A and B are shown apart, each in its own frame.
Chain A
Amino acid sequence: MDEPLIDASHLKAYFPVKKGMFSSTKDYVKAVDDVSIQIRKGETFGLVGESGCGKTTLGRVLIHLLPPTSGTLVFMGSNLSEISKHELRMLRPHMQIVFQDPSSSLNPRMTIKQILSEPLRINKRYKGEAVTTKVLDLLKTVGLDKQHLYRFPHEFSGGQKQRIGVARALALNPDFIVLDEPTSSLDVSVQAQILNLLKDLQKQFNLTYLFITHDLSVIKFISDRVAVMYAGKIVEYANTVDLFRDPLHPYTKALLAAIPIPDPRLRSKHIPLKGEVPSLITPPAGCRFHPRCPVATEACAKIEPHMKEIYKDHFVSCF
């Protein structure tokens, strides 16, 4: 197999929390705690988990928007923590991100043309007339046209704004795009439009996606491989088909069981998980899922499980 596009090992992202009058004692929010993943070229890697489990932070760390506290991150063969700032800037165009809320990620005082030409100008890829041509080209790829060029973000609907966000991410022909819940603020019919668009673009430009979402049915539709995250750790990762057919971790099973299925004949008799996602400042000892786990044993409270390969390409961290 060829070299992965992204090879992350033992990534940690901690945020300090100050306590006490003179900030003497410090705790850390362990948003990402010892995560190792590889993302292959051309695939869509899905990342699921509940809110507050660190999936957005992981997405940001993977494109070095947030430098990791420790661990190594290799992008297209170069170790991002070793290269200089200048070299990092040279790599930046190859990694892009589309944010969750399209209305807060577009500058309300800039027209669409300004928004889309900004990355082109900064990276000095295009000059003069070529900028306009490129912007029009971008708009066309995401299904908008010339008449939208001089409008402001507030004049667009949520779906259209998200299209602009996608166009901006595409502006510099990236290799890797982090999609951070791109459809969770949209209606189902618009969500379908955006998901189809993303699939088409991936084929057209040979893109690699990291798709972050909490919606398992979206993950199932769009991704090739999935990682399930819980309280800062990845608990299971596998090919999408394998994961949905045979989930191994009790948390994955519970997540799958909790989804309401749009078919009244299949009303589920699920046993809902009790409790909520633990605090990331003082996560439970041992397996972080054990306080909510239906099959927890005494060992789970003491020893932290490690990633094991159960089947080929199917990893799980559970006893």
Chain B
Amino acid sequence: MTETPLLSIRDLKTYFYTYEGVVKALEATSFDIWKGETFGLIGETGCGKSVTALSVMQLIPQPPGRIMSGSILFNGVDLLKEPEKTLQQLRGCAISMIFQEPMTALNPVYNIGRQIAEVILLHKDLTEVPQKNTRNPITHRRIQRARKKRAFEKAIEALDMVKISDPKKVARQYPHELSGGMRQRAMIAMMLACDPDLLIADEPTTALDVTVQAQILDLMKELQHRKGTAIWLITHNLGVIAEMCDRVGVMYAGYIVEIGKTEKIFENPDHPYTRGLLRSIPLIMEERQRLEIIPGSVPNLITPPEGCRFHPRCKYQMDICKTCAPPLVEVEPDHCVACHRFADVKYSVVGEEEKHG
């Protein structure tokens, strides 16, 4: 691919300064998201997935958080160097984000339509209703009212687009009156109201039931198809990733440990962590008597392990793993791994399995 990526994160480093010490949440994270693709980021709780997304949106609470170094290029513009005003224009418009818990992301005291209309008012010039600079307060008020009314109509259209059955009624309802799936639809409607180039979906379906999850995922796919939005999907559900994504990044303790085409990652995972993750899930398709486990748990990021952060839990560890963090290397086209022993991991499969089985 010769064109420039839509979003390009390079060596992003985000720390949190807390009473207990410095939490090294992100350490040299780099990846690209291309136009119109779906990129998935997987990893366990506390491995830095959401922090990466919030860093891009620059919604990290500062302090305690601080983006130490790195660059975030969005359409060639470094977001870290832009003033707050430019960011405000981008947020919710060019880049928008869906949060995990729709109940906390929606304002409980405004109705759905008004909340969506707010985004439209802020970011869209409603051409039908020209914004005239007028000194006459009465004309001004009339224009404002007309704009609001138009925005509300647009909000209803947006709700219709996410297949809410009675958009006019729903627009006048409050978040607590809607079910979880409906709220998430309303969130998506709000985020897509401005035709963003990039949609960040942070665990959009974790709080939902499987049947509703399937509905929401289908809806996202369809809207992407129609509008060409790039979707950055953050989840810990491997099934959702396999279903939705073109490319996947696997994150562990602040590092991207493996990244590549979805098929390649799922067919031959080269990093021991990815391998462990894929084997630890119970499958519908096949019989598993025991689940393979990754011993231990995610390390404390205040005092992360030296070298490769995965080495204390890794069954392939060597001495070099304890001292030197492995770089991300390309093992095949569209497939990079950060592991000193990826070659051994790859070819020792049979032997290892006999030993452990």
Contacts and interface: CB of A to CB of B under 8 A. Distances in A.
A272 B209 contact: no
A51 interface: yes
Given A187-B44, A188-B238, A196-B293, A50 B281 contact: no
Contact of A189 (B214, B266, B277, B285): B277
B44 A189 contact: yes
Contact of B210 (A187, A214, A267): A214
Contacts of B213: 258, 260
Given A189-B276, A195-B291, A267-B242, A262 B211 contact: no
Interface class of chain A by DSSP: helix
Contact of A195 (B236, B241, B276, B282): B282
B290 A199 contact: yes
Interface centre among A192, A267, A276 (most CB of B within 10 A): A192
A276 B181 contact: yes
Of B210, B217, B239, B292, most A-chain CB atoms within 10 Å: B210
Interface in B268-294: 276-278, 280-285, 288, 290-294
Interface stretch (A64-72, A216-224, A280-288, A307-315): A216-224
A66 B211 CA distance: 29
B262 interface: yes
A265 interface: yes
Interface in A44-74: 50-51
A201 B240 CA distance: 31
A153 interface: no
A263 interface: yes
B45 interface: yes
B44 A260 contact: no
B2 interface: no
Given A159-B297, A188-B277, A189-B276, A263 B266 contact: yes
Contact of B294 (A157, A189, A222, A268): A189
B188 to A, nearest CB: 15
B144 interface: no
Contacts of A195: 282, 291
Contacts of B240: 260
A262 B44 contact: no
A262 B266 contact: yes
Given A268-B243, A272-B214, A272-B215, A262 B278 contact: yes
Contacts of A220: 282-284
Interface in A170-220: 187-193, 195-196, 199, 214-218, 220
A128 B177 CA distance: 54
Nearest to A292: B211
Given A262-B239, A262-B242, A268-B243, A244 B284 contact: yes
B179 to A, nearest CB: 5
Contact of A214 (B209, B215, B266, B283): B209
A179 to B, nearest CB: 15
Given A217-B282, A258-B211, A272-B214, A265 B290 contact: no
Contacts of A276: 179, 181-182, 212
A281 B263 CA distance: 46
A256 interface: yes
Interface string B214-243: 110110000000000000000011111111
A260 B294 contact: no
A158 B236 CA distance: 15
Given A221-B291, A272-B218, A276-B212, A192 B281 contact: yes
B245 to A, nearest CB: 8
Contacts of A193: 293
A261 B285 contact: yes
Contact of A217 (B181, B281, B292): B281
Given A195-B291, A267-B243, A273-B211, A157 B297 contact: yes
A270 B212 contact: no
A267 B320 CA distance: 39
A193 B293 CA distance: 6
A192 B280 contact: yes
A196 B294 CA distance: 12
A20 interface: no
Contacts of A189: 44, 276-277, 280, 293-294, 297
Given A189-B44, A264-B262, 4 more contacts: A50-B211, A190-B44, A191-B280, A272-B211
B46 to A, nearest CB: 9
A253 B203 CA distance: 25
A301 interface: no
Nearest to B278: A262
Contact of B291 (A196, A244, A258, A268): A196
Contacts of B285: 261, 263, 266
B239 A273 contact: no
Nearest to B205: A260
Kindly name the residue among B211, B213, B236 whose own CB sees the greatest number of chain A CB atoms within 10 A: B211
Contact of B297 (A190, A216, A277): A190
A179 B276 CA distance: 25
A240 B292 CA distance: 21
Contacts of A51: 180, 209
A254 interface: yes
A110 interface: no
A50 B210 contact: yes
A261 B180 CA distance: 23
A255 B281 contact: no
A259 interface: yes
Interface in B28-43: none
